Structure 1
């Protein structure tokens, strides 16, 4: 009985030793795992931390008539300052019978609707009022993920560059790094532009007035007659100047006509 108990104890000790050796081998294998597996873990972490918040680009296009362009512009300018926006473009001009002013405004996304509500208060009617929202969440996540993946790849090549000994290997790795860095810069530029479009909404305003005093036109009958007289005089002036500009051709034509006429008279005689 004692011999049997001793054999069982010896068997337990042997099995315990084997398990200890196996655990040490697993630990050594995990410590010596290749960098590629670790990089895969890094990539997985990048994908898991990708933003899930909805990314929206908002734009608006407005067109309306106003009684006073100056007052309307000043009201819009106050709203821009209040909502911390910027006036990106300001163009004005005159059509026959009207004066217009076109504005392009960038407004923080959080103030988009409040800004539209404020500038709409003094408008009786909109000829056009367009508000659009474009969901670019998928594009945002995809672009960010590609950019981070390229940066991870760049780190790998930098590690290989430190270990490289041959000149040919160094040149090849540096060539790959140059390509990767160029792609990273392009992705970063696209990403910055997309983030700017998301954070700052674009509002385009076309406003005009038919007020004769602001447009510079004259609606009286006498004024119209005077404008037609000036138009006719300008037309006559352009005609005379056109004839003067071709005087050499006129002289040559006259001389040829006289020569042909004399020849014809001689033949008839």
Structure 2
């Protein structure tokens, strides 16, 4: 009897021990699975974060912004032959894919030519065209190059354009959903204003694109010549000058004769008065002079 109880106690103890070991094993397995799942989730999260960060880096910092710069230059030169140099500059502008905007030519009294020509060439050909044109000069008086960076303005215009596009789309949606005439009219007015602003932004962007794509060069040319005096045959027209002088002298004589006639006829009353007063005086003086002469004899 005692042995039977002892064996039963041993069996129960063994069962409890096995049950405890089994529970510990399951708990360990479950904890291991949870840790593995947590590790996998953490790994996935890190991978997603790395991927998103890499994507952002590819879209923003890694992008190289092409600077938009408007280049202008002024060149003042002396050339040996003005007309030939103007022709060569026009040919060079066409060679580099540019064009002539304005051309002016002047000639002074000494027949020396000067002028101005304004050319626009692609920005990547700007320096080449400028140096090539400078090679035509006998003497360079001035060379000025300046640039204006318009990158920030262009980016700002792009941002404003995107915002206006969004507003335009919303207004178009509101217009489709509008039921009242008043609402429809108000939305139409707002839409027209937004579309007008969009056109202005697009116009400014196209202008900046054109100005940055082509550079402007203003070239002032003067001819390197010494003026030689020339005889003008018109200044040696002797017969014409003699005829003019004769007419001038005749005009003076006629003026003098006319003046004398006016003087005499116009002053007849005064002349008659002087004559009336002068005759008695003359006769008296003459008689006195004769009497004095007779006494002397």
TM bucket (normalised to shorter chain) is 0.5 to 0.7
What's the CA shift for 1:74?
Answer: 2.4
Q: Could you list the runs of 5+ residues in structure 2 that have no partner in the other structure?
A: 1-58, 245-261, 274-297
Q: How far apart, CA to CA, are the structure 2 residues paired with 1:102 and 1:193? A: 25
What's the CA shift for 1:109?
Answer: 0.6
Higher relative contact order (CA 8 A, sep 6+): 1
Structural mapping, 1:15-34, within 5 Å: none
Residue of structure 2 equivalent to 1:83: 96
Once the two structures are superposed, what CA deviation does each residue of 1:158-203 show, in whole Å capped at 9, x if it has no partner? 0111111111111110010011111111111111111110001001
Q: Could you list the runs of 5+ residues in structure 1 that have no partner in the other structure?
A: 1-46, 237-257
Q: How far apart, CA to CA, are the structure 1 residues paired with 2:98 and 2:127? A: 13
Contact 2:122/2:213 (CA < 8 Å) preserved in 1? yes
Q: How far apart, CA to CA, are the structure 2 residues paired with 1:55 and 1:210? A: 39
Residue of structure 1 equivalent to 2:66: 53
2:120 to 106, 113, 118: 106
Task: Give the number of equivalent residue pairs.
Answer: 184
Q: Name the larger-Rg structure.
A: 2
Q: How far apart, CA to CA, are the structure 2 residues paired with 1:176 and 1:51? A: 37
TM-score (norm 1): 0.61
Contact 1:100/1:209 (CA < 8 Å) preserved in 2? yes
Once the two structures are superposed, what CA deviation does each residue of 1:46-65 show, in whole Å capped at 9, x if it has no partner? x9799832110001101111
Distance 1:111 1:224, change over 3 A: farther
Structural mapping, 1:184-199, within 5 Å: 184-199=198-213
Structural mapping, 1:93-132, within 5 Å: 93-97=106-110, 98-132=112-146
Residue of structure 1 equivalent to 2:161: 147
Note if 1:201 corresponds to 2:211.
no
Q: How far apart, CA to CA, are the structure 1 residues paired with 2:87 and 2:80? A: 13
SS class of match (1:105): strand
What's the CA shift for 1:211?
Answer: 3.0
